[in-house]
Structure 1
Amino acid sequence: MMKSVEKIGKSKEEAIELALKELNAEKDDIEIEVLEEGSKGFLGFLGAKDFKIRATLKDNYEKTTRNFLNDIFDSLDIIADINLDFKGDTLKVSVIGDSAGQLIGRRGESLDALQLLLGLAVNKKRDGYIKVLLDIENYREKREESLVRYANKMARTAVKQRRNIRLEPMNPYERRIVHSALQSDSYVTTYSEGEEPFRKVVISVKKQ
């Protein structure tokens, strides 16, 4: 749901200007609904009636997303395509371009930071929250597949050696992948321990 305000002015233009000022927006960014028609009245003042309008910000998530990312791409001489898929309250943003890989960072840390900043930009003028998921060069899918293989390998090692195994520190997103990958395993269970950013998953052998 986009943010809206109601304003009253002696003219429609005055009411619109008040709305634009409060919304910190340009005229092209809003939709205007006249709630009460104003009138100048007799001799310009007797019986005069103010205009009342409702101004609602347009849902420019696509414009915001592309401008935000293209500004970064331009500053780093990156050439990439941006694809958007908006369903429900989730916006999936996929960036494809060989040179865009430099934005992923070590274990996706730069990608996560960029996703956070993009989410803040997209939701800046919204009343309702949009969840933004950013991926570059299909990194997240590849990382998920790698984590699932890693989790299963470590689970087999834990069972074979009959001991708990503590994995490397992971962010919340990666830990959820590991927990999900092993939640139906008959021989091990998982839990997290430690404090961010060093929190890690522990694979524990079930008692048979």
Structure 2
Amino acid sequence: MNFVEKVGKTIEDAVTEACIELGASRDEVEVEVISKGSKGLLGFGAKEAKVRVSIKEKVKEEPIKLQVKFEKEVPKEVENTKKELPNKEVKKEVKKELKKDSEDFVVVTPEELEEVTGLAMSFLEKLLKEMSIDATMTSKVVNNNRISISISGNNMGIIIGKRGETLDAIQYIVNIVANKQRQEYIKIMIDTENYRERREETLRKLAYKLSKKVQQTRKPIILEPMNPYDRRIIHSALQDSRFVKTHSEGKEPFRRVVISPAYQNKSYR
């Protein structure tokens, strides 16, 4: 049967793992929640969420509509313009999203790093207290120009939130507060339970799985909406592929990555 059962700390984690194994995007599957899981008491007796994920039955009308749309639109533009132009625009856009990582490099002194770390840790401590979260924090300097703060404690799922949205919001606020009086921006990364590392690994696996599917079907795959950080991971994972290309479309917060064949009308070599 074309379904898998997976467990995870949250329902979303379990669904993501299932999508990776099935080689499908979130929009292509149906999810049945077997168990929502439980947080337990003070971290004891916690139970993982369990889901059954299956591939949706394909409806013929959808691919037909997509094909007709592409058949009508592509020739009008391709026949009257050079094929290189759309690819250049796509590459520019992808480079723009990937460029943010290289733009983060700034030269700062140890004293500046210490000052910003102090501001960030102080504000974060107050914020966690307001959220009634009992946690400990550790910080370290990365590449001599960034600050990494790790939060540890019970029920860190509250801090992570759905798909890391709460964690991203906390990181955004802390960066604004700690850099408020500065001209040179020092990036502060906030993580808990290695969520960002696990998320990156999960997204890279998903990117590779879906790229193989695109190669086999020769049809584009549209991923679910992602934040800029997650989109950069997908772009980065596939940027050196000879067989597929990526670009983002839509407006925030519904902007999503599209993985499509590198050569629409040519066989792969």
Normalising TM by the smaller chain, what interval?
0.5 to 0.7
TM-score (norm 2): 0.53
Q: Deviations over 1:74-110 (max 9, x none)?
A: 2333222211112433111111223233111111111
- Give the structure with higher Rg (CA): 1
Match of 2:256 in 1: 200
Select the residue among 204, 210, 215 that pairs with 1:154.
Answer: 210
139-148 or 58-67: bigger deviation = 58-67
Q: 1:186 and 1:98 mapped to 2: Cα distance?
A: 44
Residues 1:65 and 2:120 aligned together: yes
- Superposition pairs for residues 35-184 of structure 1, below 5 Å? 60-87=115-142, 88-184=144-240
- Percentage of identical aligned residues: 42
Shift in alpha-carbon separation, 1:159–1:69, aligned structure 2, 3 A:
same
Shift in alpha-carbon separation, 1:168–1:86, aligned structure 2, 3 A:
same
User: What is the alpha-carbon root mean square deviation over aligned residues?
Assistant: 1.9
Gaps of 5+ in 1: 1-56
Structure 1 residue runs of 4 or more that deviate by more than 3 Å after TM superposition: none
Give the number of the structure with larger relative contact order, counting CA–CA contacts within 8 Å between residues 6 or more apart. 2
How big is the shift at 1:65?
2.0
Q: 1:58 and 1:105 mapped to 2: Cα distance?
A: 28
Is the Cα contact below 8 Å between 1:159 and 1:205 reproduced in 2? yes
Q: Secondary structure at the match of 2:190?
A: strand
Is the Cα contact below 8 Å between 2:117 and 2:147 reproduced in 1? no
How big is the shift at 1:58?
10
How big is the shift at 1:162?
1.4
Is the Cα contact below 8 Å between 1:80 and 1:99 reproduced in 2? no
Is the Cα contact below 8 Å between 1:169 and 1:199 reproduced in 2? yes
How big is the shift at 1:59?
5.1
Q: Deviations over 1:136-192 (max 9, x none)?
A: 221110100110011111111111111011111111111110011111222111111
Q: Secondary structure at the match of 2:147?
A: strand
The number of residues matched between the two structures is: 152
Q: 1:158 and 1:172 mapped to 2: Cα distance?
A: 22
TM-score (norm 1): 0.67
Q: 2:148 and 2:240 mapped to 1: Cα distance?
A: 28
How big is the shift at 1:126?
2.6
How big is the shift at 1:127?
3.6
Q: Secondary structure at the match of 1:84?
A: strand
Gaps of 5+ in 2: 1-111
For 2:199, the aligned partner's letter is R
Q: 1:185 and 1:94 mapped to 2: Cα distance?
A: 33
103-112 or 124-133: bigger deviation = 124-133
Q: Secondary structure at the match of 1:170?
A: coil
Shift in alpha-carbon separation, 1:200–1:58, aligned structure 2, 3 A:
closer
User: Greater helix share, 1 or 2?
Assistant: 2
